[in-house]
Amino acid sequence: MPDLGEGITSGEIKKWDIKKGEHVEEDQTIAEVETDKAVVELPAPVTGTIEDLRFPEGAKIQVGDVIVTIREEGAPQKTAPVPEARKPEVTPPVKVPVLATPSTRMLAKQLNIDIEKLQGTGSGGRITDEDVKKAAAKPAAAPAKAEVPRPAPEDLEQRIPLRGIRKTISENMMRSVSRTAQVTLVDDADLTRLVELRESINQKLAGKAKVSYLAFFVKAVVTALKAHPMVNVSVDDEKGEIIVKKYYNIGIAVDTDRGLIVPVLKNADRKSIIDISKELVELIETTRSGKIGLDQLRGSTFTIANIGSIGGLFSTPVVNYPDSAILEMQQIRETPRAVNGIVVARKVMYLPLTIDHRIIDGAEGQRFLNDVKMYLEEPELLLAGMA
């Protein structure tokens, strides 16, 4: 198990891509190992033949553990012949014949009695007619009362080891709530124009590309962050300093079968909405396939979560530490709104914004949210440089 950097000291073998006796080329992927940050592909260090896999899939391994033995090309094959152990000879038990006259045997057959199971009372243990008749006179044993099976204690619970990415999620959440003063501000936005604009754009693109709602949110957030730099910050607790970031790396919370993972869209301010849409598709697919790289999971300055694709009205997202703010996309719902004195159905979404109240005042957080709302309600403002 090589040193993967990033402070990683252990991992779990998720999958062997080779088997014993198989030939491998140098740098060929031989295993997938899940660390507390990502799933990493381990390459073969040499060309040769797999002689031994030291750990099964699912095993916990440490950096420095020998996990596979490879015989390099040209190296002599190690053999260790072991003579086949001789099986002990088993003498079959001698069957003692039942002593009974032919007439007694006929009687037992007529009365449906297994004569082999009777204990004889005659001379030398011989089975007599009386023995057979007594056996036939005994009442048949009542069938055992069927018991209702009860589930074993282990069938009522399932214990799953808290390790790998799930352990990292747990630690990050506890670190976030213990090191930040979190407050959630909630507003809503009328996305009717955004819904119409997105549909129009995608029709004109005619399948060449597809613009997502998430891409518009990324663009709206970045534009608002430029106007409110004190939201794009983190705290260096050791030095007692606030770090104001002049780059815009947006973390995207992605739901996977291994838990919530946050890949990072780097330099989002330099990309058009179409470019952002394309990169988001690749980033999310790579994350869900477990092939995301460690460098793609670090460096966020602000995070967006999209729970609305699943459902829900609104929630209070937890800050992705060391970021200081997170915005959550909720479900777009048809909602009655008064427009110019007339009640009409509009496409509305709640917008919860959680901030670290130690360094972001509530008023500044709301001003930032007001700008995000404005860009979403008037999305034409974001289209400069879209192509």
Lowest mean pLDDT among 85-99, 105-119, 128-142, 177-191: 85-99
CA distance 250 to 300: 5
Active site residue 357: yes
Percent of the chain with pLDDT over 90: 55
- Crossing angle for the helix pair 102-110 and 129-137, to the nearest 10 degrees: 10
Backbone φ and ψ of 117, nearest 5°: -95, 0
pLDDT tens-place string over residues 164-186: 888 888 999 999 999 999 999 99
CA distance 198 to 218: 14
Res 127: pLDDT: 87
Res 201: pLDDT: 94
Res 129: pLDDT: 86
pLDDT tens-place string over residues 252-263: 999 998 889 999
* Mean pLDDT for all residues in the chain: 87
Q: Where are the domains of the chain?
A: 10-72, 184-382
CA distance 231 to 220: 14
Under CATH, what is the fold of the domain 10-72?
OB fold (Dihydrolipoamide Acetyltransferase, E2P) (2.40.50)
Lowest mean pLDDT among 153-157, 160-164, 297-301, 325-329: 153-157
pLDDT tens-place string over residues 257-281: 888 999 999 999 999 999 999 999 9
Res 360: pLDDT: 97
Q: Which two tokens stand for residue 111?
A: 């009365």
Of 346, 341, 338, 366, nearest to 354 (Cα)?
A: 366
Res 145: pLDDT: 64
Of 27, 32, 34, nearest to 8 (Cα)?
A: 34
CA distance 287 to 42: 18
Confirm whether pTM is higher than 0.75: no
Given the residues 357, 364, 366, 374, the one annotated as active site: 357
Residue, of 219 and 121, whose pLDDT is higher = 219
Res 387: pLDDT: 35
Res 361: pLDDT: 97
CA distance 71 to 163: 33
Residue 143: pLDDT band (50, 70, 90) is low
Res 146: pLDDT: 65
Domain 184-382 sits in which CATH superfamily?
Answer: Chloramphenicol acetyltransferase-like domain (3.30.559.10)
Amino acid at 136: A
3-state class (DSSP) for residue 38: coil
3-state class percentages of the chain: helix first, strand second, coil last, to nearest 5: 30, 25, 45
Res 386: pLDDT: 46
**Pair 252, 264: CB distance under 8 Å:** yes
Amino acid at 5: G
